[in-house]
Chain A
Amino acid sequence: MSPLRLYARLVGMSIRSQLRYRSALVLQILGQFVVTFVEFAGLASLYALFGRYDGWTLAEAAFLYGFGDTAFAAADALAYGFDSMGSLVKTGDFDRLLVRPLSPVLQLLGREVTLKRAGRFLEGLVILTWGWANLVDPPGPAGVALMAAAFVGGVATFLSVFLVQAALTFRTVEGLEVMNAFSYGGKQASAYPLSGYRRLLRAFFLAVVPVGATVYLPICAILGRRALPGLPEWIQPLGPLMAVPFAFVARWLWRRGLERYSSGGG
């Protein structure tokens, strides 16, 4: 069977097993939706107080915020396996993945597609749609195509952060809390326009953990905004491409970790 079909089977299994506890799942999705929505209400109340954020209207900010939330929620749902590396390595269960004729990355990805993340995803979608509907100049077909690219780029970037976290687990065994600064920190940072941060933080989220490049730059291009002073505007639609080198770095770290790995448990 081809690797992708195997992956699809694993995903199917994980979804069916989660649907066993249907009422709990619905409650979790609903709870997550309400809670993330309250968080957005916080942003809206700051708008009521201050009027503008770095020149962005509430509709524009909602567009960016909702978009970032959908991308993060999708990556978070796919990355469950990477997140569980700590316990896999500690118990020695990871070794079982290595004897199977399927890439361990695909097996990790196939462990679970976390359905309860749908709560944040739906909230992001609602906010995004509301922002879109209230834009003065809503995106045309080219804008929608760029949104798709930015979504793929954003999800790939967050997934790569989780993969780096998994790769480092080979060495540290314990799950790495440090990486939360980059995954959840990246999510928090990408919820607001990058231009609002000071230089060092901007550079960090453009080049090191490029959530700013893959999400913020194309969204600026769609909204017809200048992303950052000193950055030529033609670069903005190319932002999602930054996910490619970052994913390669993550893969390289993962391979290196895997080569040196000599079982953790028994």
Chain B
Amino acid sequence: MRACLAAFRARARSVLRYRAAAAAAVFCQAIFGFILVMILETWYRDGSGAPISLAQAASYTWLGQAFLAFQVWGPDPELRDLIRSGEVARDLLRPTGLYGLWLARALAYKLVSVGLRFGAILVLAGLVLPAIGLGSIGLEPPTSLGGFFCFLAMLPVAALVSGTLTVGISCFQFRQVSAAGASAIAAALSSFFSGLVIPVPLLAGPLRMAAEFLPFRALGDLPFRFWTGVLPPSALPAALASQAAWILALGLGGAAFVRSRLSGLAVAGG
């Protein structure tokens, strides 16, 4: 456990150094946010009968951009390079469980990435847009204090789901050296089924059911529903239970996979 904590701290410090990359990402997120909320605004112009209001949909979309770094867009780049270069052999020498070590690093990578990015988007969408008269497509404050607490409670869950999925993608590398194919597909699934492009409550029946079943919803949809009041705080226990099941499944599955692979592992590189 202490070894994992040290791995977490080391990785967190290395991600913190890439502040320029974070600034660039924030710019991208702002542009995407504007495109997406303007599309929503146009949908709602003719629309009645939508299950959530424009204000809720816009807030949901901005939150998606603010917490974009939770998305599973590929393996932890550090671990990817370690596996490709063969340096991962050094991790094998450490007297710690491999999976725990990697999960700790992935969590640090995710949490610090989110930490560096979310504030700017929240300020832009929540304060700047209303101030310049674009409040109708901006980010509204949480509808209730209870909803906000549920949102906060879901953030560590989001980090854990994101971390276990990220390590899961890295596992593909053990089989194929490159995880590029798996990453591309995971990236698209993750952004679609977490409601990044279209809020999940607006999806049609079968798509919405798939989104509500898959673990990706923990990366955005679930926490954002609590913030925007689409879900009442009383839905928290069920949400936590379903995601805890996913975290357990992903974590145990990943750990078992890593263990089984280690016996027949041929390290690449030199």
Interface residues, chain A, with chain B CB atoms under 8 Å away: 24, 27-28, 31-32, 35-36, 38-39, 41-46, 48-54, 116, 174, 176-178, 180-181, 184-185, 188-189, 192, 196-198, 201
Contact = CB atoms under 8 A, between A and B. Distances in A.
A42 B180 CA distance: 24
B38 A185 contact: no
A178 B27 contact: yes
B27 A181 contact: yes
Contacts of A178: 24, 27-28
Nearest to A31: B185
A193 B25 CA distance: 26
B7 to A, nearest CB: 25
B42 interface: yes
A46 B198 contact: yes
Given A196-B38, A197-B35, A197-B38, A41 B184 contact: no
A174 B204 CA distance: 41
B169 to A, nearest CB: 13
Q: Which 7 A-B pairs have the closest CB atoms?
A: A45-B204, A196-B42, A35-B188, A50-B47, A177-B24, A181-B31, A181-B28
A35 B189 contact: yes
Contacts of A192: 39, 42
Contacts of B198: 42-43, 45-46
Nearest to A204: B31
B212 to A, nearest CB: 14
Contacts of A198: 38
26 contacts: A27-B181, A28-B180, A31-B184, A32-B185, A38-B189, A42-B203, A43-B198, A45-B203, A45-B204, A49-B49, A50-B44, A50-B46, A50-B47, A51-B47, A54-B45, A176-B24, A177-B24, A178-B24, A178-B27, A178-B28, A181-B27, A185-B35, A189-B35, A192-B42, A197-B38, A197-B39
A198 B28 CA distance: 18
Given A32-B185, A41-B207, A45-B204, A201 B49 contact: no
Given A174-B20, A181-B27, 7 more contacts: A28-B181, A35-B185, A42-B197, A53-B46, A174-B21, A196-B38, A196-B42
Contact of B202 (A28, A49, A54, A174): A49
B181 A52 contact: no
The interface residues of chain B, by DSSP majority, are classed as helix
Contact of B184 (A32, A43, A52): A32
A39 B39 CA distance: 15
A180 B28 contact: yes
A46 B185 contact: no
Interface string B13-44: 00000001100110110011011101101111
B35 A24 contact: no
A48 B43 CA distance: 11
B55 to A, nearest CB: 16
Contacts of B39: 192, 196-197
B149 interface: no
A28 B181 CA distance: 6
B204 A201 contact: no
A176 B27 CA distance: 12
B105 to A, nearest CB: 21
Nearest to B22: A177
Contact of A177 (B21, B45, B180, B181): B21
B50 A201 contact: no
A42 B181 contact: no
Nearest to A55: B46
Contacts of A176: 24
A31 B185 CA distance: 6
A188 B35 contact: yes
Nearest to A25: B181
A54 B45 CA distance: 8
B260 interface: no
Contacts of A42: 192, 197-198, 203, 207
Interface in B91-143: none
B263 interface: no
Contacts of A184: 28, 32
Contact of A185 (B25, B32, B47): B32
Given A42-B203, A188-B35, A196-B38, A28 B27 contact: no
Contacts of A27: 181
A168 to B, nearest CB: 11
B141 to A, nearest CB: 23
A201 B207 contact: no
B28 A185 contact: yes
B60 to A, nearest CB: 14
A92 B42 CA distance: 48
Instruction: Please indicate which of the listed interface residues A36, A38, A46 has the most CB atoms of chain B within 10 Å of its own CB.
Output: A46
A145 B177 CA distance: 45
Contact of B42 (A41, A53, A174, A185): A53
